[in-house]
A and B are shown apart, each in its own frame.
Chain A
Amino acid sequence: MRPRGLLGIRRPINILIIVNVLFFILLSLHVQPPDPSILIAGGGVIVLMITSYIIIVKKRMGDQYIFLIISMLVSLGIIMLYRLNPNYGLAQIKWYGLGIVLYFISYILFRVIKGWDKYIYGYIFGSMLLFLITFTLGTNVGGSINWVYIGNFSFQPAEATKIFFVFFIAAYYKLRLSSEEALTFPEREAVLPYNNEVSDSRLQNHNYPDHEQSDKSGSNFEEAEISTENEAVPPKNSADNTVSLNSNHSTSGFYLKDFWRELSRRLKTPNYRELIINKQLIKNKYVFLAIVYLHLFLLLMQRELGMTVLFYVIFISIFYIYEEDYKLLLYNIGALGIILVLSYFMLAHVRVRLVTWVNPWDQISGKGYQITQSLFAIVAGGFFGTGLGLGSPDFIPVVHTDFIFSAICEEMGLFGGMAVVLLYFILVYRGFKIALTIKETFKKVVALGIILIYGYQTFIIIGGVIKLIPLTGITLPFISYGGSSLISAFIAFGILQAISGLEAGG
């Protein structure tokens, strides 16, 4: 729809290539003796980037800035990892290649397969299955049970849970808002006098992949409208039920007591199908909240502090955007307060995190060691950094995952670190821009959810390593070493790319 001049886009991709060329030459000289195979690896990275970029532009796959920014971030990550340990760098390049493939696959799948919004049970089941796998097969690494090892292969299930969680929330709001809308739909004066043509409409429906949706969730409400709007038409068998249930939902003061009464009444009637198959049960916001908090609880059980916080902020942000019930929002924020206070007193590792945040210098050789080493690295860099390979980022424990930002600050300086933060910021901004233009609820929430994951995740870990907020172990998206986080990020942004393509009308 929009003509995009290819010439104008050339510049950022060129800079991306120059940066990679320069640093990979430098990296090949960094090891003793100089290793030309690093140049080949670097060439591979560059080729991957250019090819993918050209595909995205030529095939008009929507937003092109997303991929450029991601590529810059991944490049910096690979360069830094190569500098820390060439083995990490090489492994990360392989993950990057796989990530790009999955980026395109998730793009295609999301566009080709319709009705992603209908599998709310699938998303919940997926999350729970991953939790089950973690608890049964998970290995305790540094106090957290978050890694699953199968043979030589290891992965972090929570990375995949993030995407399931966002899809679950999106599917939920799609379900709820479309039903609310169907009730309030007749805004225009002239409305749908098509009662005697229902069968015709159904026939037409079957021509389209979307028919199932209108059949299941749609038809009820169409019928509901019919029964309210047009009394001349005799209501269908199920119409009574649907109407009463819907009216229940439309009233804002829906208490738990009423809900259970309603539920038990329904369970006695053979109509439980309504609850499960037609998702009337899941549509209830208290059921929704229960499932959300179940996620949070299970994460906390794995001692995944960073992830728990991340899931919570994603949930509360989307909840804030879509929930009109402000009291409920306040209750949820209050719940967070209670959880925080309780976990402070009950979980020793939460306490440690807080104490080492307030004053790490007291325990510099003990629990405050990581964060102080990180600060030493950051200040050692100054404004321009020590230069790649000339600093000592290896003094920081787990520098290749959680603390890679400190390593970047040390060797690329305050300006380098700030540039990374700005890259994330533009990425997040683009994501929001896409979310704003989308009208369809499910896609909008998915886009929002993805961008919130990566926006907050970036803040949580960078804020943590610079001691702005308490440190919680979580990876820096696209830069930290690790297949799970890199691949899940590529899948997530592949989906965002697909959504951005829809927005552009492709």
Chain B
Amino acid sequence: MFRILSWIIRYIFIILIYYFLYGIIRLIYLDIQHINKINQKGSNNPYLKLINRKERLDFDIQEFYDLENETTIGRSRDNIIQILDKYISSKHLKIIMDEGEYFLEDQGSVNGTYLNSTRIEDVAKLKNGDRIGLGQIEFLFVKEAVEE
């Protein structure tokens, strides 16, 4: 009895474990596809893309950050985007949306905020492709035109 059962189960097992492998590989594949989609960002929602040229960083950072109506960046926990770069002040900058346009505003940071390599003193309007520099990192502001 045991033998018959064991014989049957050995075939079922082989099928199952390869199905398991298939399942995992499929999920990983879907996952990668999903990431790629995020990378391509088909949505209209503007976002920041990390374009840092530095190879290594001492802190954790994401490749992409979605922008909300008011997005703050800094080192303290109160910020919407928290980046533990030691050259970034606790409240570093703010990106505000107003009537569909995005504006960059320095929050009085120590090392300053740079828009396309120029330190900003005041509020600056952002357009697609602008580079925002703070601390050791640089973001690309992406706001794709709505296709109609």
Contact = CB atoms under 8 A, between A and B. Distances in A.
A108 interface: no
B6 A413 contact: no
B129 interface: no
B20 A15 contact: yes
Contacts of B2: 26, 29-30, 389
B58 A178 contact: yes
Contact of B114 (A190, A389, A411, A423): A190
Interface string A434-457: 000001110110000000000000
Interface residues of B, number: 53
A8 B34 CA distance: 13
In the complex, the 7 A-B pairs of residues with the closest C-beta atoms, listed nearest first: A387-B6, A214-B86, A12-B23, A15-B20, A419-B17, A387-B10, A11-B23
Interface of A is mostly: helix
A387 B3 contact: yes
A174 B25 CA distance: 33
A314 B114 CA distance: 42
A378 B86 CA distance: 57
B84 A208 contact: yes
Interface in B27-48: 27-28, 30, 34-35, 38
A238 B19 CA distance: 63
A385 B10 contact: yes
A312 B6 CA distance: 42
Given A65-B24, A72-B20, A419-B17, 20 more contacts: A15-B20, A18-B16, A25-B5, A30-B2, A174-B58, A178-B58, A187-B54, A200-B110, A201-B110, A204-B75, A210-B86, A218-B86, A222-B86, A386-B10, A387-B10, A426-B21, A430-B28, A439-B61, A440-B56, A444-B56
A388 to B, nearest CB: 5
Of the four ranges (under 10, 10 to 19, 20 to 34, 35 or more), the interface on chain A belongs to: 35 or more
A15 B16 contact: yes
A88 interface: no
A181 B3 CA distance: 65
A59 interface: no
A494 to B, nearest CB: 18
Interface of B: 1-3, 5-7, 9-14, 16-21, 23-25, 27-28, 30, 34-35, 38, 53-54, 56-62, 75-76, 84, 86-87, 89-90, 110-112, 114, 117-119, 133, 136, 138
B110 A390 contact: no
Interface of A: 1-2, 8-9, 11-12, 15-16, 18-19, 22-23, 25-26, 29-30, 65, 68-69, 72, 174, 177-178, 181, 185, 187-190, 192-194, 197, 200-201, 204-205, 207-208, 210, 213-214, 218, 222, 384-390, 411-413, 415-416, 419, 422-423, 426, 429-430, 439-441, 443-444, 502, 505
Of B57, B117, B119, the most chain A CB neighbours within 10 A belong to B57
B13 A22 contact: yes
Nearest to B62: A505
Contact of B5 (A29, A218, A429): A29
B60 A439 contact: yes
A69 B27 CA distance: 13
Contacts of B112: 190, 193
A48 B11 CA distance: 26
Contact of A22 (B12, B20, B110): B12
A62 to B, nearest CB: 12
A2 B17 contact: no
A9 B27 contact: yes
A472 B111 CA distance: 56
Given A204-B90, A205-B86, A23 B9 contact: yes
A243 B54 CA distance: 22
Contacts of A430: 28
A188 B112 CA distance: 13
B56 A194 contact: no
B125 to A, nearest CB: 20
B110 A19 contact: no
